[in-house]
Structure 1
């Protein structure tokens, strides 16, 4: 492959509508990237394949949303440009998805499969509720994406929930790891339900729900699984993450460097 001249980072026009869609797209994209890190490292072959397949589902959702956001933006950015040529401050994913969750990952000592299983469950439950609401969006393209994605999220939530129960109600070792994972991850869930001007504009226009409208149903669904897993939910903390505002943890820059290196080195390259 012959390299071509490097191009500058792109900056989309961040109307409330575009930003709302990018929040979902970026959450799916980064979550897919983190799940894909388990390829070849799963605890059993079947789960290795399952995590990879769920990553592909999320990647497909992200691609559809990024393509749609590019059309709304007005700059005609395509999915690859939006994924690989935006700077960190122009990503709007939940901070939870950018946290490294595989033992041996850079800058993530002490994390393991329990963290990945639990994060997948918490996020899939949230995404399932969000996709259900977005099927009624006034944006026909977004509603169509949601109609397909909700079925995938239902499977992801069920699969991950089964693992949460299996490990939480398993051996003393697996239960201890799940309790530790729950303490680590729970503070990041607050960001899933923070209402702001972008949410309010989306709700007012019929694009989609405000995030806090999902809270009670999410909490109920999560509490049922945690009860079966014998895992009491941690207490609420004052911690507030800000990834959906474009302000990320220290892990995001490393993730983007790995994810974007080929496109940044050979922008627009052809194989």
Structure 2
């Protein structure tokens, strides 16, 4: 703990003035017990405030003198009346009160500045934490992207282009089939976002006779930035197709909603 910095922060003046919260008062008391320098500074501030308070208390010396003079005049009625000067204003007392008010105003200003500083520091801490979270998320996303590229670049991956069909001629997709792990990566970047209540469904197809088998749905399509989905595929696939189906998928493909289709190249 930086003792000098703590003392110069103005919190001890606020402590003496009684402007801190209960928790802050306890904190200062604990620091004062542990650090003699802080205790000494508190005593010095208290002594200064007491000195100002004493200076602000009007004295009784002038008043006593006036009363004594009037008593003397009563005893000496035959003597000429002595004209008394008007008591002088005790400017020192007023100055003391003014100094005390200035001190309190200064303490209040320091208190407000201290609160603003704490609020600003907390805001900065929150911003740093948010930035750290964003950096961590970006780092994780980068790691996942690298792993994905490594998977797709595997020499044993079968790449199947899926071209747009009548319902969506401009649509396209690509399937990366890893037979050894029985997985297929669907790159759906070329598909339009499905309307509410609808979902893309991927099919493994046998061509003779045409036998479709669902291998999964492209869930969370709108929120997936990469638009790459991993689905299981243990089938002897001859082609892949993607249809637009009601949420939850269908037992069989809706051919009128066939968006993309592509055949697996024969060896």
TM-score of the superposition, structure 2-length normalised? 0.20
Q: Comparing both structures, which one devotes a greater share of its residues to helix?
A: 1
The structure that has the greater radius of gyration is: 2
Structure with the greater relative contact order (CA < 8 A, sep ≥ 6): 1 or 2?
A: 1
TM-score normalised by the chain length of structure 1: 0.20
Instruction: Give the number of the structure whose residues are more often strand, by fraction.
Output: 2
